């Protein structure tokens, strides 16, 4: 390996997390970098080089600075469930509005990520409790919600309602997917309606807000749960921080819109460390599945 290759690998320009651009192309490009995939990686926060094995064993948390690396939808599910059986995997979308460049973008991301869109759903067991699960993927346009994401999440709630199961939702999204216009906005209403039915059936829904949870997704199913869990340090808000700064023309205070800030303001039930997430979910599921008057 020569120095130029190393430079390419280690000194990449950081991308703004909320742009919704495909990080998959910047995070791992083994061909270009000539470092075998997954041998070592650079922490996006402190810049230190970490062995990938070490990073994985530490739940994707940088052992040097404690930064939480974003997890793919499947990695999150693997980390938080005992077992998982995927559902609705054939659900796939198209360029509904003939939005310029969108069809190509979808095709490109499908090839790169191996996912049809930005959400993975299924039936899972967490701490021995059966539940329906959905998990959103940052690699797919930062988990933005278009028809496919909305449809899969709606189906997950409908499946849970039919089968009398709780729902655990791992939320990660920059918001609505603007390339799908009004259809994308309608996903907020559609998913909300499914949440309402599930709730009226007396079933538990826990949303787990991860970095980032903003825009249309935060203004719908993310905040419609019985219990709102947030991962430490996650950015959570309606408008993204850049938009707010541009609107009010002032710098935002340190920690603004972070999970800890939201908890202090009364909008988050509990903040969890990533390594204890599964255990906390299991405990909450268990207490809700135990009849109080039995």
Partner 1 sequence: MNAYEIVLKSREKGRPTAAKYIEKMVEGFIELHGDRRFSDDAAIIGGVGYIVGKPVTVIGIEKGEDTNSKIEHNFGCAHPEGYRKAVRLMKEAEKFHRPVLCLVDTSGAYCGIGAEERGQSEAIATAILDMIRLKTPTLSVIIGEGGSGGALGLSAADEVWITETSTYSVISPEGCASILWKDSGKVAQASECLKLTAQDLLELKAVERVVEEQGFSDAFFEGLKESIAAFFEGQKAIPADTLVEKRYARFRKF
CB 139 within 8 A of CB 22: yes
Q: Which of residues 108-137 bind partner 1 (CB under 8 A)?
A: none
CA distance 253 to 261: 11
Tokens of 13: 């320009």
Told to check if 290 binds partner 1 by CB under 8 A, we report no
x-or-dash pattern for partner 1, window 4-23, by CB under 8 A? ---------------xx---
Per CB under 8 A, the list member of 188, 206, 208, 234 interacting with partner 1 is: 188
**Residues contacting residue 195 through CB under 8 Å, at least 6 positions apart:** 157, 205, 221, 224, 225
Q: Which of residues 142-181 bind partner 1 (CB under 8 A)?
A: 147, 150, 154, 176-181
Q: Considering the complex, what minimum distance in angstroms separates the CB of residue 255 from partner 1? A: 12
CB 120 within 8 A of CB 169: no
Rg (alpha carbons) of the chain, rounded to whole number: 19
Residue-wise DSSP of 9-39: HH-PPPPPTTS---THHHH--HHHH-S-TTS
x-or-dash pattern for partner 1, window 221-260, by CB under 8 A? xxxx-----------xxxx---xx--xx---xx--xx---
Q: Which residue has the tokens 């994401």?
A: 149
x-or-dash pattern for partner 1, window 30-49, by CB under 8 A? --------------------
Binding site for partner 1 (CB under 8 A): 19-20, 97, 99-100, 147, 150, 154, 176-190, 192-197, 200, 214-216, 218-224, 236-239, 243-244, 247-248, 252-253, 256-257, 265-267
């Amino acid at each position: 390996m020569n120095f130029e290759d190393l430079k390419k690998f280690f000194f990449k320009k950081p991308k703004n997390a909320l742009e919704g651009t495909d990080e998959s192309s910047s995070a791992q490009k083994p061909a270009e970098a000539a470092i075998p995939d997954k041998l070592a990686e650079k922490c996006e926060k402190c810049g230190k080089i970490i062995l990938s094995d070490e990073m994985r064993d530490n739940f994707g948390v940088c052992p040097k600075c404690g930064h939480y690396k974003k997890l793919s939808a499947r990695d999150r599910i693997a980390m938080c469930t005992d077992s998982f059986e995927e559902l609705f995997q054939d659900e796939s979308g198209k360029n509904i509005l003939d939005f310029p460049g969108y069809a190509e973008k979808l095709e490109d991301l499908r090839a790169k990520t191996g996912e049809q869109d930005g959400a993975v759903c299924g039936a899972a067991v967490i701490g021995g409790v059966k539940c329906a699960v959905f998990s959103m993927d940052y690699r797919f346009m930062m988990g933005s919600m278009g028809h496919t994401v909305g449809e899969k999440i709606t189906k997950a709630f409908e499946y849970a309602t039919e089968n009398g199961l709780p729902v655990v939702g791992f939320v990660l999204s920059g918001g609505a997917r603007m390339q799908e216009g009004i259809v994308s906005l309608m996903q907020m209403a559609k998913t909300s309606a499914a949440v309402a039915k599930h709730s009226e059936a007396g079933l538990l829904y826990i949303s787990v807000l991860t970095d980032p949870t903003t825009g249309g997704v935060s203004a719908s199913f993310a905040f419609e749960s019985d219990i709102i869990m947030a991962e430490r340090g996650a950015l959570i808000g309606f408008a993204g921080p850049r938009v707010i700064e541009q609107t009010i023309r002032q710098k935002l205070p340190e920690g603004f819109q972070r999970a800890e800030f939201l908890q202090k303001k009364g909008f988050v039930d509990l903040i969890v460390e990533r390594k204890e997430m599964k255990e906390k979910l299991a405990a909450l599921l268990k207490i809700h599945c135990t009849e109080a008057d039995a």
